[in-house]
Structure 1
Amino acid sequence: ARVMVAMEAELQQHPAQGVLVVGDVNSTLAAAVSAKKLHLPLIHVEAGLRSGDRNMPEEINRLATDAITDLFFVTEPSGQEALLREGHPASRIHFVGNVMIDNLFHQIGRLRADPAAGGRGAALRAGLGDRPYGVVTLHRPSNVDHPEQLAGLVGTLRTLASDLPLVFPVHPRTRSNLSRFGIDLGPNIHTTTPLSYMEFLCLWKDAEIILTDSGGLQEESSAVGVRCVTLRDSTERPVTITDGTNILAGTNPARILDVARTALAQPASGKRPLLWDGRAAERILDVIVDSPLFQPV
């Protein structure tokens, strides 16, 4: 609500021809509603992604934002298909690639030029020596808010970590629940406080495997060919499974362990999804410049 109040005031003070929002967080929806209340054209980047799970707050944000969007930019074919099913005109839907991957490639270039930019991520890697390792992230309420579920997942991670050290930047919500539920991570899971984008990139890009319930990490790992096991029952990014390196394991601890061990036993497979080439922003700009929504009357 505070974002909406501030956004509306900003748009009234500095009139715009339109508003562009990205993704599916609460501020995405707040800015979108503010734009439409002021009768401004709305552009949504990463439009059309659907998990089919309305228990996810992000799914509600995606559906509500797309319901009032005028110009849609999608990252993968499933986004086009979802928007067409929902009745949006094809002329306003554009498959352009993924701006998150644009940024990823740019930041990898920065790390190559200046390894010190990896900060704590580089230090964590150095602490493991030359040993292969995996990376874990867990933050979704469905995984970390229930003691039995969190304990089961940690048991699986402890078993896997006996073969492959795991590095776990622990989300504050997850850390609080681990302490509250009395769950011990064991000696082979190396924890750290949350990392910056660059620190985390330095850590995960050379990992043997990532175990995560994140959305963006499914995409980024597929773009650079790192095995990813997603600890969720659904994904709004199916191209990471059909084309990329992602495997949807669900939330059953025994299945997660089996999927992870099977993935580690063979080379990472998959290819970079179509148009994830670092040029999505250029394509978006070209469409906006030519769009009749923004032409002088």
Structure 2
Amino acid sequence: MKKIVTILGARPQFVKGAVLSRVVLEHNEIEEVIIHTGQHFDKNMSEVFFNEMKIPKPKYNLDINNLGHGAMTGQMLEKIEAILLEEKPNAVVIYGDTNSTIAGALAAKKLHIKVVHIEAGLRSFNMKMPEEVNRILTDRISDLLSCPTQVAVDNLQREGFENLPIVIEKHGDIMKDAVEFYSHFSEEKSSIIKELKLEENEFVLATIHRQENTDSKEKLESVFLALEKIHTEKEVVLPLHPRTKKLLEQYNMQPNITLINPVGYYDMLELLKNCSMVVTDSGGLQKEAFFNKKHCIIAREETEWIELVENGFATIVGSNTDEICQAYFNYLNSSADFSIELYGNNVGEKIYKSITKLIQV
């Protein structure tokens, strides 16, 4: 039986990985070995996903976290390489743009193992973002690039990827599969709306965690000032990322909004279903908002998901207090046709078929 090694490290990767793992198990043609790098080490940021989403438990947990980019990536590279030498997979599957992603790609490529990059071709065109560096380098050394959108395919073509021995496929966004599948269970599995005494469309869901916001006291203050202003109009609920929590304490900031611990996927789906809109600097949550028919205010200077902005589903505001608040008021009474097809269907199955072709199952 052919074998793939899947490398996961951060919350969005657990969600995406769950989709492909389910397809792999259904077909029973390929053995999947999962490595959890430990990049998200908080129990509520990782373990809860494996329990909730019935993802096969990782065979390996590297427990590498809370380090600088170089140290984290270097330690992951070393440990993943040792595992790949032992497991001898036919391909390594990686997701997104984290340090876990680039470490997995480098380890596999240097051992001449096929690399499958899911969510390939995304670009923010901001090279100050470590995620941008990771995704560009990962794309270049992959063998199969699974693109979520035509924009992603176009990005790769502009960079000359069609001249390289790399397979480029537009499969769609695997996150859409996850939302559609797990939405059927979230209301039964989650009690967060009741626990927090929230009413449908009577709260704003927010998440802030990216370095560009958290590492700047000025930007973080500006974003949270906007959230506090919105909170006077409509409750703002923010699951607090460990990094953001640490820096709020360091900056001695105590924002007057509803702060809660990180939540599992079912809880997040219920928060998305019931909120009035989303404020976030997360890439994944921008799409999850769209899949749940919610407008999104993007607290960044750019987005990889430009089609959301072009079609009026999201607005880029950076960390500017006034722009965040203005976007909130603009979306309060606006409507949009969320039925537009942006991200494909049955994506996990399409990716699976391309992987089987790559490794010749």
TM-score scaled to structure 2, two decimals?
0.74
Q: Which amino acid aligns with 2:225?
A: G
1:121 CA drift (Å): 5.1
Q: Matched residue of 1:4: which SS?
A: helix
Residue correspondences, number: 286
Tell me, in whole angstroms, the C-alpha distance in 1 between the residues paired with 2:96 and 2:220.
27
Match of residue 123 from structure 1: 195
Match of residue 104 from structure 1: 179
Of 128, 132, 150, the match for 2:202: 132
1:208 CA drift (Å): 0.3
CA distance 1:295–1:184, shift in 2 (3 Å): closer
Tell me, in whole angstroms, the C-alpha distance in 1 between the residues paired with 2:154 and 2:96.
18
Q: Which amino acid aligns with 1:3?
A: M
Q: Which amino acid aligns with 1:123?
A: E
Q: Answer yes or no: is the 8 Å Cα contact 2:207–2:280 preserved in 1.
A: yes
Q: Matched residue of 2:279: which SS?
A: strand
1:101 CA drift (Å): 1.4
CA distance 1:169–1:3, shift in 2 (3 Å): same
Q: Answer yes or no: is the 8 Å Cα contact 2:186–2:267 preserved in 1.
A: no
Of 78, 99, 103, the match for 2:151: 78
**1:89 equivalenced with 2:162 (yes/no):** yes
Q: Structure 1 stretches of 5 or more lacking a match? A: none
1:280 CA drift (Å): 0.5
1:192 CA drift (Å): 0.8
**1:30 equivalenced with 2:103 (yes/no):** yes
1:270 CA drift (Å): 4.1
Match of residue 349 from structure 2: 282
Deviation digits for residues 44-94 of structure 1 (CA, Å, limit 9, x no counterpart): 110000000111111111011011011111001111011111111287211
Q: Which moved more, 1:241-250 or 1:193-202?
A: 241-250
1:96 CA drift (Å): 0.6
Of 283, 295, 301, the match for 1:215: 283
CA distance 1:140–1:9, shift in 2 (3 Å): same
TM-score scaled to structure 1, two decimals?
0.89
**Superposition map of 1:1-297 within 5 A:** 1-89=74-162, 92-112=167-187, 115=188, 117-120=189-192, 122-124=194-196, 127-129=197-199, 132-186=202-256, 189-243=257-311, 245-277=313-345, 279-291=346-358, 294-295=359-360
Q: Answer yes or no: is the 8 Å Cα contact 2:220–2:319 preserved in 1.
A: no
Q: Answer yes or no: is the 8 Å Cα contact 2:201–2:275 preserved in 1.
A: no
1:201 CA drift (Å): 1.7
Q: Answer yes or no: is the 8 Å Cα contact 2:120–2:152 preserved in 1.
A: yes
Q: Which amino acid aligns with 1:239?
A: E
Q: Which amino acid aligns with 2:130?
A: P
Tell me, in whole angstroms, the C-alpha distance in 2 between the residues paired with 1:246 and 1:61.
25
Q: Answer yes or no: is the 8 Å Cα contact 2:147–2:171 preserved in 1.
A: yes
Tell me, in whole angstroms, the C-alpha distance in 1 between the residues paired with 2:333 and 2:80.
50
Q: Which amino acid aligns with 2:195?
A: A
Identity across matched positions, percent: 31
Q: Matched residue of 1:257: which SS?
A: helix
Q: Which amino acid aligns with 2:357?
A: D
1:195 CA drift (Å): 1.1
Deviation digits for residues 223-254 of structure 1 (CA, Å, limit 9, x no counterpart): 22111100000011112223472221222111
Q: Answer yes or no: is the 8 Å Cα contact 2:77–2:103 preserved in 1.
A: yes
Deviation digits for residues 111-132 of structure 1 (CA, Å, limit 9, x no counterpart): 24xx2x21445522xx134671
Tell me, in whole angstroms, the C-alpha distance in 2 between the residues paired with 1:230 and 1:198.
22
Tell me, in whole angstroms, the C-alpha distance in 2 between the residues paired with 1:159 and 1:222.
24
Tell me, in whole angstroms, the C-alpha distance in 2 between the residues paired with 1:96 and 1:225.
22
Q: Matched residue of 2:126: which SS?
A: coil
Q: Answer yes or no: is the 8 Å Cα contact 1:19–1:40 preserved in 2.
A: yes
Q: Structure 2 stretches of 5 or more lacking a match? A: 1-73
